[in-house]
């Protein structure tokens, strides 16, 4: 039997679930997720960090607009906790520094001794200083995602797991979405399928947006007993060659890889991990030991690196919520608010140039 609703959302990552939370008070919403669990792909594999000064201009506007919701305005409790971010500057990193400082707020320039006060094991002879963003935060991603799922369900949304979408057709103004769990129909389909967003467009006969998933890997490595990492920020190379972040008595270390791959259940490449760990250990005096585990996830980008949020101009009722790259968790409160406002025909609180920068038209 076909189930009829107002809005079908494809994808049970943070994009789809936060959009469901925003829309459910106003409309009947069904979320279709192909996996048996929410957040199985990119959302469950992130570094869980909020960095205000990360990304291009529209992304920074989304970061800023997401801060208050992440601090409690969305769920009634904060999902953030203090972390800080320290970027190391080597000789020859001037261009990276200029790019980073452009449009940045609240950044402190540090000398090498000041860097070593924050992370004492950084090799002072290899750097000329650093920049510090004290306000970077850890995000409790599970709390955010489950909180949004709860809000959505409390307002009547249905979240259907193990329901991979296999076909999408449109007749008159109604989309019919076929899954292994049954058929669903609605006038609006939100494509929040992460790395698979172009695949979903292909199923619907809608032009694609040139989405490129890029693999990013990480390991969790124990540190020597007695090494006190209390107060250490996320730290890395300003050239984004690697970064590391304390997690209890272990360090999350990422080679900051960005290898283009097809949409897939991503896994790390041993050589990429080894090379990244080598870059880390050149700069930081911590002995490398066997990681407890490693993983990889996909960060998906369109060519200009800006997320895509808006109705497709050529396919009535087909809405894109994709291309969040490495910012999809921290921008989810603002992007989901915008998605809901556009779907419901409401004015957005974001500036018009930001809304335009996120639109689909620029990609056609």
Ligand X SMILES: Cc1cc2nc3c(=O)[nH]c(=O)nc-3n(C[C@H](O)[C@H](O)[C@H](O)COP(=O)(O)OP(=O)(O)OC[C@H]3O[C@@H](n4cnc5c(N)ncnc54)[C@H](O)[C@@H]3O)c2cc1C
Residues that bind ligand X (CB under 6 A): 10-16, 32-35, 39-43, 45-49, 164-165, 192-196, 200, 216, 218, 297-299, 324-330
Q: In angstroms, give the least distance from the CB of 191 to ligand X.
A: 9
Q: In angstroms, give the least distance from the CB of 113 to ligand X.
A: 29
Take residue 328 and report the two structure tokens written for it.
């999809």
Q: In angstroms, give the least distance from the CB of 31 to ligand X.
A: 9
Beta bridge partners of residue 28, listed in sequence order: none
Q: Which is nearer to ligand X, 129 or 233 (CB)?
A: 233
Q: In angstroms, give the least distance from the CB of 204 to ligand X.
A: 11
Q: Which is nearer to ligand X, 127 or 200 (CB)?
A: 200
Q: Which is nearer to ligand X, 5 or 43 (CB)?
A: 43
Q: Which is nearer to ligand X, 129 or 257 (CB)?
A: 257
Q: In angstroms, give the least distance from the CB of 302 to ligand X.
A: 13
125 Cβ contact partners less than 8 Å away, ≥ 6 residues apart: none
Q: In angstroms, give the least distance from the CB of 247 to ligand X.
A: 13
Q: In angstroms, give the least distance from the CB of 180 to ligand X.
A: 9
Q: Which is nearer to ligand X, 13 or 129 (CB)?
A: 13
21 Cβ contact partners less than 8 Å away, ≥ 6 residues apart: 74, 148, 149, 151, 152, 155, 157, 336
CA distance 109 to 230: 22
Q: Which is nearer to ligand X, 130 or 307 (CB)?
A: 307
Q: Which is nearer to ligand X, 12 or 84 (CB)?
A: 12
Q: Which is nearer to ligand X, 127 or 251 (CB)?
A: 251
Q: In angstroms, give the least distance from the CB of 298 to ligand X.
A: 6
CA distance 66 to 206: 30
CA distance 177 to 186: 8
Q: Which is nearer to ligand X, 129 or 310 (CB)?
A: 310
Q: In angstroms, give the least distance from the CB of 17 to ligand X.
A: 7
Q: Which of 217, 310, 216, 325 is closest to 19 using CA atoms?
A: 310
Q: In angstroms, give the least distance from the CB of 125 to ligand X.
A: 30
Q: Which is nearer to ligand X, 93 or 138 (CB)?
A: 138
């Amino acid at each position: 039997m076909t189930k009829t609703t107002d809005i079908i959302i494809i994808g049970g990552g943070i994009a789809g679930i936060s959009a469901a939370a925003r829309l459910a008070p106003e409309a009947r919403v069904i979320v279709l997720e192909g996996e048996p669990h929410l957040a199985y792909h990119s959302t469950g594999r992130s570094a869980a960090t909020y960095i205000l000064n990360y990304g291009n201009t529209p992304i920074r506007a989304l970061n800023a607009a997401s801060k208050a919701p992440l601090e409690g305005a969305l769920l009634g409790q904060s999902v953030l906790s203090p972390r800080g971010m320290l970027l190391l500057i080597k000789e020859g990193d001037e261009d990276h520094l200029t790019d980073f400082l452009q449009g940045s707020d609240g950044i402190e320039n540090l000398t090498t001794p000041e860097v070593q006060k924050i992370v004492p094991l950084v090799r002072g002879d290899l750097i000329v200083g650093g920049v510090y963003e004290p306000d970077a935060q850890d995000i409790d991603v599970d709390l955010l995602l489950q909180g949004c799922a709860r809000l959505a369900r409390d307002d009547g949304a249905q979240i259907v797991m193990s329901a991979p979408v296999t076909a999408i057709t449109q007749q008159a103004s109604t989309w019919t979405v076929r899954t292994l769990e049954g058929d669903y129909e609605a006038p609006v389909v939100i494509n929040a399928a992460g790395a698979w967003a172009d695949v979903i467009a292909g199923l619907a006969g809608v032009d694609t947006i040139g989405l490129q998933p890029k693999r990013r890997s990480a390991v969790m490595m124990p540190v020597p007993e007695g090494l006190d990492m209390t107060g250490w920020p996320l730290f890395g190379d300003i050239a984004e060659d690697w970064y590391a972040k304390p997690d209890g008595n272990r360090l999350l270390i990422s080679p900051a890889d960005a290898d283009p791959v097809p949409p897939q259940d991503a896994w790390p490449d041993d050589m990429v991990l080894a090379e990244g760990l080598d870059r880390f250990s050149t700069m930081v005096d911590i002995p490398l030991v066997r990681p407890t585990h490693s993983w990889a996830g996909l960060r998906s980008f369109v060519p200009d690196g800006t997320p895509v949020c808006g109705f497709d101009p050529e396919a009535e009722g087909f809405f894109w919520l994709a291309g969040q790259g490495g910012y999809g968790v921290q921008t989810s409160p603002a992007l989901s608010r915008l998605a809901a406002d556009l779907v419901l025909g409401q004015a957005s609180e974001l500036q018009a140039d930001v809304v335009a920068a996120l639109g689909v038209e620029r990609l056609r």
